[in-house]
Chain A
Amino acid sequence: MIFDLVDITLLVFLAITALAVIRLDNLFAVVMLLGIFSLISAVLYVNLDAVDVAFTEAAVGAGISTVLMLGTLALTGSMEQKPQRWSPIPLAVVVLTGAALIYGTFDMPNYGDPDAPIHKHVADRYIEKSGEEVGPPNIVTSVLASYRGFDTLGEVVVVFTAGVGVLTLLGHGHLSRRKRHREEDEIEREATELGLDESDIERLEEEDI
């Protein structure tokens, strides 16, 4: 009974945080609430026996994600504009979808049921054979690195691609490159006004006046 109480309290906190994220319009507060959301989720994962996932969520979600969003807010504005008219269509769509999903959950096995179909077939084999076939005591690492090694290779390539993508979009010194192009266009315009020809323009651009 004790563990269920912790579960329910944390879930209620999560719901309240989500409602606050919808209502606030100061973006700094919204980003901080997202960090709190990640941290409460990490505690909840420990309660649900997922220690690896809790570690990753606390490090990545509450750490890196918050830092990147704060970095973005420092470059863009930090207040959100309220919409002029409040339209009921998004609320109707959300309520209908939520009702359909809850209707779908009545078919699911109860939370914590050891006879649920998800625990048969593949997961049973991983738990039983992991000690003899692969070796490490941590079953999650052995599944991640050995049984499902291809997925992890794809994931590393995704992280690599994201790094390359951000470097391309916001790369080192691209702002100064745009300023340089604008200066070159100005030099060309002034030179044609004065009546100079092409070779003079090239010479002026090289001297970087």
Chain B
Amino acid sequence: MSLFENFVIPGLFNYWVAIFLMMAGFYVVISRGNLVKKIVGLNVFQLSVFLLYISMGKVDGGTAPILAEGITTFSNPLPHVLILTAIVVGVATTALGLALVVRINESFGTIEDMEISELERKMEEQE
């Protein structure tokens, strides 16, 4: 069966592990209530997407994309450039998200989203 042919290394194993990590990060975001843990889940999601892109850029028998004497096959440099930008933007948004979490903790005293909704509803009822 073609399924077994593809499953033996190398095949598509890299992509399946990347999708598993993506779903793990996604599960943490939608099922846990703690805000810091949600941000950790988002980071795991981002890392798995980077893994998917870099795996797609690898060429069998190639080397790192740095010109040198006697090397003719290189791995694709374009995904490297995109992921370099994405990593830096990811850390910038994580820093901003963590700053928001600190401010929320100051205003409400908690970082569990169930308790925050309760406090917000009580504040609206008082007005």
A–B contact with Cβ pairs below 8 Å: the answer is: yes
Q: Are A127 and B101 in contact (CB under 8 A)?
A: no
Count of chain B residues with a beta carbon within 8 Å of a chain A beta carbon: 81
A-B contact count, CB below 8 Å?
253
Contact indicator A118/B56 (Cβ below 8 Å): yes
**Interchain CB contact under 8 A, A60 and B88:** yes
Q: Give Cα A169 to B50, complex, Å.
A: 29
Question: Residue on B with the closest CB to A47?
Answer: B58
B44 touches A110 (CB 8 A): no
A180 at the interface (CB under 8 A from B): no
CB proximity of B48 to chain A, nearest CB, Å: 8
Which residues of A pack against B, CB within 8 Å?
Answer: 4, 7-8, 11, 14-15, 18-19, 21-22, 27, 30-31, 34, 37-38, 41, 44-45, 48-53, 56-57, 60-61, 64-65, 68-69, 71-73, 75-77, 80-81, 83, 87, 90-91, 93-95, 97-98, 101-102, 105-106, 108, 110-114, 116, 118-119, 122-123, 126-127, 130-131, 137-140, 143-144, 148, 151-152, 155, 158-159, 161-162, 165-166, 169-170
Instruction: List the 8 closest A-B pairs by CB distance, nearest first.
Output: A162-B92, A112-B60, A90-B31, A18-B24, A49-B75, A139-B65, A80-B34, A137-B67
Q: Find chain B residues with CB under 8 A from A65 CB.
A: 43, 91, 94
